[in-house]
Amino acid sequence: MADIRQYILPKEKLQQAIQRLFQLPDEVVAPTTAPRGDIYFQPVNSGAEVELDFGNSLVSPVQCIVPSEEVIFEYHQREQGPPEIVAPPPPAPQIILGIRPCDVAAIQNLDNFFIEREPADGLYEARRQQTTLIALACPEPVADTCFCTCCEGGGLYAREGFDVQLSLVEGQYLVEVATEKGQRICQLWDDLLSPATQEIVEARDAQEKKAIYARTGPDANLAAAIRRITADAVNPEIWEAVGHDCYSCGGCSYLCPVCTCYDVVDINYDEDHGVRVRRTDSCRLGGFTREASGHIPRNTAASRARWYAYHKLSHDYYKQQARYGCVGCGRCIITCLGDIGMPTVCKLVRQSEAEKVS
Amino acid sequence: MQREDYIPRPVVIDNIRPETLTEKSFTLRFTDDEPFTFRPGQFVEVSVLGAGEAPFCIASSPAQTDAIEITVRKYAEGMVGSALHERQVGDYVGVRGPLGNPFPLEEFEGRDILIVAGGIGLPAVRACILYILDHRDNYRNVTLLYGARTPADRVYEDDLGIWEGSPDIVCQQTVDIADEAGTWDGHVGLITTLFEPLQIDGPQTTAIIVGPAVMYPFVVAECQNKGITDENMYFSLERHMKCGVGKCGHCTIGNKYVCLDGPVFTYAQMRQMHDE
Amino acid sequence: MSKLVPEVCPFCGAGCGIYLQHQSQDMITLLPSRADPISEGRLCIRGWHLAALVRNSQRLCSPLINGTAVPWAEAVAAATDSLRELPANRVAILAAGHLTNEEAFAASYLGRQVLGTGHLDNFGRMVDGPTICGLQYSLQQPYTRPPLNDLINCDLIVCLNSNLRELNPQAGAWVKKAQKAGSKLIVIDEADDGLGADADVYIQHAVRARASVLEQLSRILAGEPELSLELAHLGPASITEALYQAADMINSAARVAIVLSARACSIPQPAMIAGKIAQQINTTAPGSAQVIAIGGTPNCIGLIHMGLAPRDGNDQSPPGLAVGEILAHDQQDIDGLIVIGEELSAWLGEAGLKALARRLQCLIVLDSLHTPTTEIADIAFPMAGFGEKEGSFTSLDGTLRWSGQVVEPVAECRYLPQIFAEIAGELGHQDFPVEIDTIWEQINQQIPGYGDIELADLRANRPVRLDETTLTQRTGPMDQDIELPSIETTAERPYTLRSRYDANWWIYDGRVPAIPALYREVRDLEAGYALMNPEDMEKERVRPGRSAVLQTATGGARLLIYPLAGIPEGIIILPAHQLKFLQRLLGFGEYDKECSAIYRAPVAAAVKRG
Ligand code: SF4
Ligand code: SF4
Ligand code: SF4
Ligand code: FES
């Protein structure tokens, strides 16, 4: 944390600070209120549209970097010669304002997976490089589904991975700048900021401790589940039970900010013109592992539930990706038709241990 | 990797050779001047615009750098395979690759090689065979066992004929069911029945095994019988591969991405895979 | 990037709320909505894949004549030429259950005002009709479903199909939520597709004995004499024991919901008895029981309101044929057919579709996707699909919900009223309503119950409810005896049908025996469920509980046969759309004995205790 610079922004100056972001050529993506009242991260044109008093958005802002559907290229078949293939224009710079610490952690996960782990994914890398993250720390768990504090390295404020972070502490914002991209933002705010005091930094830690102590959210105890799953010491009945409750809708992985699987499909607009797109796919769907011959290796909801937990929570994958696949954002709890979000699964897995011991 | 790496290189279909009723081999020639180099066991993603992309093993010799050969089975569900079967010589398709890990053929130097191929597995090891024959002096005894369901299901018949007559390789074929016409005078029986009379120096042998998944346990048992160690049994696995670069997640088995960590695995590795 | 456009999932009657958003380059993103009170951010697999429905390779992109792409003008000319040649009463229009109210209004306008035909119907009725019809009858009023999220307030849920999770996943999720909140669950079904294992009491009854089991439950609740097991074909006595336990649970519950999926019920009896049970409970404890039927299609009821049904209570035009009749293989009275958004081979089979196309002089199809039906059609028009148009659905809970437009129609696709306006224009009707505003002006004026609805409210996603009093007035008399001229007692088969015309929109065709009325008679006679008199059963070697398959126009239907002791005639209980079937039965009982169903006996009642 040595090279993180810390400042103070008075609360009443926040609007002004946000408004200045629009001076940059970057597109500003921020939480806004949709017609039904939900909050989603959307491009905004003024500070007035930004809604920072929110829990977390059901759709993670991570989708600004990994869209649920993106064009790989457009093609035109020609009478003669090879088809013409046109790559989409390079992504434009964007600022994600108000991203929560869990989603920042998820992006670190994605960086490890898409960039660090060779070969790097060009589509992701291009977008990621153009993205500046202005994180918004949580004074306390912002929804009753949050369990980031049970997750590895998780916390109510991000320790790393952001460019700028805003934490509301005792009526003022602690502003942290971690990168050059962040520096660029802070230059805009030069006259609004004053140096941070040791007190406010400590107050934030105290605030976090207090909130963790008082928290009532789902009890995931990921660490215990990870031990069980890595050791493959989970009673198969647990997976049968989870499989029984699973509708194979795919929702958990579509919304999970850490999930990366995608499908590649060609969409023909007419006989000789179309696009190849990649769109998020889900390992919870029945046909996910279908081979050309029709054989489906993971053909039961139970086997897919097991795989999902294994991929996210086993040390085998930790070795490859340097992080566990759950940041505790709680979206899978909200979206699950069968009410088997990650904490519920972890609990079942832990109980399986208890049963085995007894 | 660049953003462009998901864009296939254009190739033109130079030749189409029907192998069986459901399989055709395609020669795909690169139209840019860049040489295409690969190592036996690697695969490519072949694009038919409008139908999508699917992985195919490269069946041609790595010595050839301006074209590759693939063998495509037409499945009811396989869009790309069906689309390829409808293409004509002169049509353009796309190729991405080479992808995946090859067979570490250098490591096998100085050893006996036993190649076991079942059905459509032969194209996947053909590049190996051609490479080994090209570098014949580096290897000791080379044996190919090939099994198909019926004589009509055999692919690369011409090659098999050549290899059968070659002093460089012992080539034995079998079919599960001889055809009614009675033209088949070769061995009849499952591929495992070819093992019995084989004289193999087990510890000195490396096995390369490719075929339908149902074949594996039986062939493994035979190989183990002959004293081939798990570390020296190499497989090329089929999985539903989309991206070929370890990102789309479709090909995972346990903690392995078949496209990236494979498709070539030793039996010792396979035993460690932690999946269904 | 476009704004977020609120939409309602068109795949089933649950009506989950979502947003679609248009990204660059025709990419459409789907966002689940947590603020939507029904879905709360959950969707089933169909809902999750909605965005892929908007843009995909199966889209029909240009007009076709005999399967070949042609310019618009040519297709319109061909369509008008063939329609002009046909007498009005020989043309029919059939629409899919996912059309919006506005599209349905335009289709019905084309039929009634331009072409002058009364042969209009929709497929939503095929799916949801039997259930809604059954409920409306036993409840004696138009059925309005409580909102799905009401389940959370119940302390007992009686679910009549264990595959609810598959048919209406969102309803399955609400059942689970309610259970978590303390509700008990009773599942009554012939096989367990998942829900049974979660139930406190799971009653697995004999195959197709659902109605009997429910009737038994109803009798137990009412303290009436039980149905004899053999007669009702319930299965072992343990079933009745379990039913007593279920009745106890019902009696001690403060709020009971009876849940069923319309898709699971192709006959009206289960819904009818479910309605009866709800009323029984409500007589002792008013307001404590409700029936939650989840439709299989998003707008079946709106389509009927808009006039896409063969007889509209208020309409003066002659009664038309129903969907089953229009598609009947021996239908002689229809030469031209306009099909909107439905894949007919799903109903008729491939051979049936071919035969239909051969029989018709002209088959005009409007669809947003390439289907075997568009392929075989004489003329096919590419229609704007989901997300490419705006419009409303009338949900079974009496609310109207709006789906906005997120992208322009792809390629040459056009909005349905626009396509019809072009055809109408050629036929000399220049003032065909195309704009949503014009359509709503007319809906406000013409459609009972819709008079006060403001388009602006719909567009702004404000909650909009149908005016129930107008709706009830519209329903008209429920019981009205009518003569059945074409179905007469014959010497060979002493069947007499007493039927009643029911002017509500579910049972509209005078010649279709009003099933609920028949049910009533059965009940009045207190003889349980009976379809045939025992002597005839003996003669035809039909065993109780067996089903006979009768070849119907729509591919055959199963008729479950029970003896009805003590009455001279057989009584047939049929879904509304199976007229042909009925005629055959009455004509000469041509049921195909060879196909008669295999009677499976695995019958059990599982009662989870504690
Ligand atoms: S598994 Fe669930 S809680 Fe964990 S990161 Fe994914 S969506 Fe969030
Ligand atoms: S969200 Fe729930 S029901 Fe849907 S696939 Fe995930 S675990 Fe299964
Ligand atoms: S439950 Fe019904 S309305 Fe909801 S997403 Fe599924 S199909 Fe659509
Ligand atoms: S094929 Fe995409 S991860 Fe292996």
- Ligand 2 near A61 CB (within 6 A): no
User: Rounded to a whole number, what is the distance in Å from the CA of C241 to chain A's nearest CA?
Assistant: 28
Asked whether residue A85 is domain-assigned, the answer is yes
> Could you report the per-residue pLDDT of C489-539, keeping only the tens digit for each?
333 333 333 322 222 222 222 222 222 222 222 222 222 223 444 455 455
- Which chain B residues touch A298 with a CB distance below 8 Å? 276
Percent of chain C exceeding pLDDT 70 equals 72
- Given an 8 Å threshold on Cβ–Cβ distance, is B52 in contact with A75? no
Model confidence at C267, in pLDDT bands (50, 70, 90)? low
Q: Clarify whether residues B114 and B94 are in a common domain.
A: no
Q: Is the pLDDT of residue C588 over 70?
A: no
Q: Clarify whether residues A181 and A247 are in a common domain.
A: no
Q: Clarify whether residues A32 and A164 are in a common domain.
A: yes
SS3 string of C363-391? EEEEECECCHHHHHCCEEEEECCCCCCCE
The beta-carbon neighbor of B75 closest among A114, A119, A294 is: A294
Model confidence at C46, in pLDDT bands (50, 70, 90)? confident
Bridge partners, A96 (sequence order): A29, A133
Q: Clarify whether residues A278 and A161 are in a common domain.
A: no
Bridge partners, C379 (sequence order): C65, C364
Please compute, for residue A224, the number of CA atoms within 13 A of its CA located in the half-sphere on the CB side.
Answer: 15
Q: Domain of residue A315: give its range.
A: 222-349
Nearest of C321, C339, C319 to residue C330 by alpha carbon: C321
Q: Is the pLDDT of residue C146 over 60?
A: yes
Q: Is the pLDDT of residue C488 over 60?
A: no
Q: Clarify whether residues A234 and A163 are in a common domain.
A: no
Q: Clarify whether residues B109 and B231 are in a common domain.
A: yes
The beta-carbon neighbor of C31 closest among A59, A245, A285 is: A59
Q: Clarify whether residues B151 and B223 are in a common domain.
A: yes
Q: Clarify whether residues B89 and B173 are in a common domain.
A: no
| Separation of CA A127 and ligand 3 centre (Å) | 33
Q: Is the pLDDT of residue C455 over 90?
A: yes
* pLDDT value, residue B227: 85
Asked whether residue B135 is domain-assigned, the answer is yes
Instruction: Yes or no: say if C564 and C530 are a contact pair by the CB < 8 Å rule.
Output: yes
* pLDDT value, residue C234: 58
Q: Mean pLDDT across chain C, nearest whole number? A: 74
A140: tokens are 């306390």
Rounded distance between C-alpha atoms, residue C205 and residue C267, angstroms: 17
Asked whether residue B247 is domain-assigned, the answer is no
User: Rounded to a whole number, what is the distance in Å from the CA of C269 to chain A's nearest CA?
Assistant: 29
Rounded distance between C-alpha atoms, residue B125 and residue A109, angstroms: 37
3 state DSSP class of C95: strand
* pLDDT value, residue C541: 52
Find the Cα–Cα–Cα–Cα dihedral C271, C276, C281, C282, rounded to 10°: 100
Rounded distance between C-alpha atoms, residue B230 and residue B207, angstroms: 9
Asked whether residue A28 is domain-assigned, the answer is yes
| Separation of CA A319 and ligand 4 centre (Å) | 18
Question: What Å distances lie between residue C55 and A279, C388, C389, C411, CA to CA?
Answer: 13, 10, 14, 11
Q: Clarify whether residues A186 and A259 are in a common domain.
A: no
Q: Clarify whether residues B141 and B173 are in a common domain.
A: yes
Q: Which atom of ligand 1 is nearest to the CA of A341?
A: 2
The domain boundary residue, chosen from B221, B236, B251: B236
Q: Clarify whether residues A185 and A302 are in a common domain.
A: no
Q: What is the mean pLDDT of residues C22-50?
A: 89
Instruction: Yes or no: say if A257 and A62 are a contact pair by the CB < 8 Å rule.
Output: yes
Q: Clarify whether residues B173 and B90 are in a common domain.
A: no
Percent of chain A exceeding pLDDT 70 equals 96
Asked whether residue A45 is domain-assigned, the answer is yes
Transcribe C161-191 into DSSP letters: -TTHHHHSHHHHHHHHHHHHTT-EEEEEESS
Residue of C nearest to A43 (CA): C1
Q: What is the mean pLDDT of residues C361-378?
A: 94
Rounded distance between C-alpha atoms, residue B138 and residue A186, angstroms: 64
- Ligand 4 near B257 CB (within 6 A): yes
Q: Domain of residue B9: give its range.
A: 3-99
- Between C111 and A2, name the one with better pLDDT: C111
List the chains bordering chain A where 3 or more Cβ pairs fall under 8 Å.
B, C
Asked whether residue B243 is domain-assigned, the answer is no
Q: Clarify whether residues A29 and A169 are in a common domain.
A: yes
Q: What is the CATH number of the domain that holds B145?
A: 3.40.50.80
What domains appear along chain C, each with residue ranges and CATH number? Answer: 5-54 (2.20.25), 64-123+299-469 (3.40.50.740), 127-294 (3.40.228.10), 487-598 (2.40.40)
Q: How many CB atoms lie within 10 A of CB B15?
A: 12
The beta-carbon neighbor of B247 closest among A75, A260, A297 is: A260
Residue of A nearest to B80 (CA): A292
Nearest of C391, C349, C357, C369 to residue C555 by alpha carbon: C349
- Given an 8 Å threshold on Cβ–Cβ distance, is B4 in contact with A119? no
- Given an 8 Å threshold on Cβ–Cβ distance, is B3 in contact with A303? no
Model ipTM?
Answer: 0.91
* pLDDT value, residue A187: 92
- Ligand 2 near A252 CB (within 6 A): yes
Q: Is the pLDDT of residue A20 over 70?
A: yes
Q: What is the mean pLDDT of residues C532-549?
A: 48
Give helix A301-313 / helix A222-230 axis angle, nearest 10°: 110
Q: Is the pLDDT of residue A110 over 50?
A: yes
Residue nearest atom 3 of ligand 4, based on CA coordinates: B246
The domain boundary residue, chosen from B99, B120, B144: B99
* pLDDT value, residue C538: 55
* pLDDT value, residue B243: 87
Asked whether residue A357 is domain-assigned, the answer is no
- Ligand 1 is surrounded, with C-beta below 6 A, by A 255-258, 312, 326-332, 342
Q: What is the mean pLDDT of residues C572-581?
A: 36
- Given an 8 Å threshold on Cβ–Cβ distance, is C30 in contact with A68? yes
> Could you report the per-residue pLDDT of A272-303, keeping only the tens digit for each?
888 898 988 888 887 787 776 777 778 788 88
Rounded distance between C-alpha atoms, residue C453 and residue C459, angstroms: 11
- Which chain A residues touch C57 with a CB distance below 8 Å? 266-268, 274
Bridge partners, B147 (sequence order): B118, B174
Q: Clarify whether residues A206 and A270 are in a common domain.
A: no
* pLDDT value, residue B28: 93
- Ligand 2 near A204 CB (within 6 A): no
* pLDDT value, residue B26: 92
* pLDDT value, residue B77: 67
Asked whether residue A329 is domain-assigned, the answer is yes
> Could you report the per-residue pLDDT of A201-252, keeping only the tens digit for each?
999 989 888 888 877 777 777 888 888 888 777 888 888 889 889 998 899 9
Q: What is the CATH number of the domain that holds B89?
A: 2.40.30.10
Q: Clarify whether residues A255 and A321 are in a common domain.
A: yes
Q: Clarify whether residues A180 and A307 are in a common domain.
A: no
Asked whether residue A354 is domain-assigned, the answer is no
If one counts the domains in chain A, the total is: 2
Task: State the pTM of this model.
Answer: 0.85
User: Rounded to a whole number, what is the distance in Å from the CA of A221 to chain B's nearest CA?
Assistant: 23
Q: Which site among C42, C64, C175, C406 would you substitute to test the A interface, given the most A Cβ atoms closer than 10 Å to its Cβ? A: C42
C360: tokens are 């018709």
The domain boundary residue, chosen from A162, A185, A214: A214
Asked whether residue B125 is domain-assigned, the answer is yes
Asked whether residue A140 is domain-assigned, the answer is yes
Q: Which residues of chain B have pLDDT under 70?
A: 1-4, 76-77, 180, 274-276
Q: What is the mean pLDDT of residues C445-462?
A: 89
- Ligand 2 near A246 CB (within 6 A): yes
Residue of B nearest to A77 (CA): B49
Asked whether residue B257 is domain-assigned, the answer is no
Q: How many CB atoms lie within 10 A of CB C303?
A: 33
Asked whether residue B223 is domain-assigned, the answer is yes
Q: Clarify whether residues A146 and A45 are in a common domain.
A: yes
Question: Which amino acid type is present at position A133?
Answer: L
DSSP structure class, residue C361: S
Rounded distance between C-alpha atoms, residue C351 and residue C337, angstroms: 18
Asked whether residue B211 is domain-assigned, the answer is yes
Asked whether residue B71 is domain-assigned, the answer is yes
Asked whether residue A345 is domain-assigned, the answer is yes
* pLDDT value, residue C516: 27
| Separation of CA B243 and ligand 4 centre (Å) | 5
- Between B274 and C591, name the one with better pLDDT: B274
Instruction: Using the CB atoms, write b or e for A224-247: b if 16+ within 10 Å.
Output: ebbbbbbeeebbeebbebbbebbb
The beta-carbon neighbor of C61 closest among A251, A270, A277 is: A270
The beta-carbon neighbor of C45 closest among A245, A250, A267 is: A250
Alpha helical stretches, state H, B24-106: 79-86
User: Rounded to a whole number, what is the distance in Å from the CA of C457 to chain A's nearest CA?
Assistant: 13
* pLDDT value, residue C229: 53
* pLDDT value, residue A46: 92
Q: Clarify whether residues B40 and B162 are in a common domain.
A: no
Transcribe C276-326 into DSSP letters: HHHHHHHHHSTT-EEEEEEPSSSSHHHHHHTT-SS--TT--SPP---HHHH
Q: How many CB atoms lie within 10 A of CB C484?
A: 16
* pLDDT value, residue A104: 94
User: Rounded to a whole number, what is the distance in Å from the CA of C439 to chain A's nearest CA?
Assistant: 24
3 state DSSP class of C593: helix
| Least distant ligand from the CA of A263 | 4
- Between A44 and C216, name the one with better pLDDT: A44
Q: Clarify whether residues B70 and B129 are in a common domain.
A: no
The domain boundary residue, chosen from A214, A230, A263: A214
Model confidence at C319, in pLDDT bands (50, 70, 90)? low
Q: Clarify whether residues A297 and A280 are in a common domain.
A: yes
Q: What is the mean pLDDT of residues A32-57?
A: 92
Percent of chain C exceeding pLDDT 90 equals 35
* pLDDT value, residue C311: 58
* pLDDT value, residue C569: 31
If one counts the domains in chain B, the total is: 2
Query: Dmax over Cα atoms in chain B, in whole Å?
Result: 56
Question: Which amino acid type is present at position C513?
Answer: P
Model confidence at C318, in pLDDT bands (50, 70, 90)? low
The domain boundary residue, chosen from A154, A182, A214: A214
The domain boundary residue, chosen from B59, B82, B99: B99
Nearest of B267, B269, B241, B240 to residue B256 by alpha carbon: B269
Residue of B nearest to A83 (CA): B92
| Least distant ligand from the CA of A145 | 1
